Each structure stands twice: as C-alpha cells, then as structure tokens.
Copies of this chain bind each other. A is one copy, B any other.
Amino acid sequence: MLGALLLNANFKIHFSLISCQARVPLPVKPAPLRMPSPHYPHWASLQADIEAHLKQTIPLKEPLEVFEPMLHLAFSAPRTTVPALCLAACELVGGHRQQAMAAASALLLNLANAHAHEHLTDGPMYGPNIELLTGDGIVPFGFELLARPDGPASASPERVLRVMIEISRAVGSVGLQDAQYVKKTLWDGGEEVQNVESMQRFVLEKRDGGLHACGAASGAILGGGSEDQIERLRNFGFHVGMMRGMLQMGFMEKHVQEERHLALKELQFFMDRDVHVISSFIY
C-alpha cells in the first residue's frame, strides 16, 4: 500500500482544498455537509463527524444572543484538516475516533476563535463586540470538552492534560500566535523584510505545520499510542501542514513534493497498519 502511495506521490490532489484563508459564506445556521460518496475525501467525512458532535455539544439555549453566535462562530470559520487529522491519528494507533473527538473539537474551536479575531473587520454578522465575547467563551469551552467526566478524561486524565498542553502551545505564543505576528509584519510591510521566503516558511512552520503536528500528536496520545508512534505522527502532521500551506501560498511544486515525501517517510513506521485514511491527507 505504502509503496503504491510513494509511486503515486506526483498524482494530482484528489479533493478541493478548503484553505485557511479563503472565506466561505457565513450562513446563520451551518450548511449541511455533502453526504459521503466514493469521491468524498476521508478527511471530510471525519470533519462531518466532528461537526455533528459539536452541534450536539454546544447548547442552543437562552440567551440565544449568547449561544447562537457561539455556534455560528464555530461553523463559519473556514474548515482546516487539523481536527480531522487528530481523529485519523487516533485511529491509526488503534484508538477509537470517539477518544479523540473532544480534542478535535477543542482544536476546531480554538482555530475558529483565532480566525474570528484575525478577520474581525471583515464584516462580522453579530457586531465585533459580540464576536469578541463569543470567542472568549469558545476557547475555555474547548478545554472544558476535554476536561468533562463524560469525555476522554475519565479513561486517561494524564493523557488529556498532556493534550491540553499540546493545544495551548500550538495556538499560543510559541505557535499560531507567533505566526500571526510575523504574518502581520510581512503584510503591513512596516519593517524591512530581509527575506520574504524565509519568513513565509516560518509562518508555515508555526501555523500550518505546527497546528497539524499538534492535531496528529494529540490524536495519537488520546488513542493510546506509544511515544514512538506519537512522535512519528507529530512529524507526519508537520509535513502534511507544510505541504497544504505551501499549496495555498503558491510555493513551487518541488517544495510541495519534498514535504509530501517527508510525510510519507514518517508513515513507513506504520507499515503493518492500514494507512488508507491517514494517507488521504497528502493527496
């Protein structure tokens, strides 16, 4: 299987890439996802599971003025493959996807919040103040999903705590937040930018690479993976993120291929397993 994948590494991307930056229209109620079909990418089916879980979990109750924007915020941000990769990694190490569902949801909520704050001036639906406050609630709520006794914490509190640290670092000052700052410097052009490509690479590493690495490692941790498996999946996630980010940012094809090959190399560690689903993240 893996050999065939390596041979196919130059094939075209089979599914449309919903980017971190292309903004989807914002329905008040989340649009239903397309139903799975033979051509439906695996990650989108995992994403549908996460969204169904979140719809059940976020209480739509009074005051609707507080809860509806929260639901809206969670679903209006452009989809990324980070949460789905979390579930796929969990399954790859032998876990059940439900074990990683709270972590995938927490990742989705953190990313939705970061997106909302970065695009606050794009014309929010509920007014910037409400979107701001909604975001303030959504991040702790993501951690709450992980901490709840009906979540993965009942089985393995230590692993849940470890995943919380992973998520905090990936979205915080040493991760996404650092990337956002550098991206701003690049775009504002306020400071002299010596080497645009190296700064772009830095943004990719911290944002797309770092977030996918976190998603994959978190899934592996919650699925009961060994330290070796966790680190391999972290590296795999990193290269998946780099590859996808490069495609978005229009990097040369040779750079994209390089990341794809590095990702596939990490998957060789799982030769004895079914890598069908997880390998769909690089095609």
- One of B130, B161, B184 near A181 (C-beta < 8 A): B130
Q: Would you mind naming 17 contact pairs between A and B with Cβ atoms under 8 Å apart? A: A63-B181, A63-B182, A114-B136, A118-B133, A130-B181, A136-B177, A137-B171, A139-B140, A140-B143, A140-B171, A140-B172, A141-B168, A143-B143, A144-B165, A147-B162, A147-B164, A160-B161
**Which residue in B129, B157, B162 is a CB contact (below 8 Å) of A161?**
B157
**Residues of B contacting A181 in the complex (Cβ-Cβ under 8 angstroms):** 63, 65-66, 130, 133
Q: Given A153-B161, A157-B161, A177–B143 Cβ distance below 8 Å? A: no
Q: Which residues of B contact A135 (CB under 8 A)?
A: 117, 136
Count of identical protomers in the assembly: 2
Give 1 or 0 for each of A158-187: 1 = CB within 8 Å of chain B CB: 101110110111011100111011101000
- A117 to B131 alpha-carbon distance, docked (Å): 10
A113: CB under 8 A from chain B? yes
Asked if A113 contacts B136 (CB within 8 A), the reply is yes
A190 to chain B, nearest CB (A): 11
Residue total for A at the interface (Cβ-Cβ under 8 A): 49
A binding-site residues for B, Cβ under 8 Å:
59, 63, 65-67, 70, 110, 113-114, 117-118, 120, 129-130, 132-137, 139-141, 143-144, 147-149, 153, 157-158, 160-162, 164-165, 167-169, 171-173, 176-178, 180-182, 184
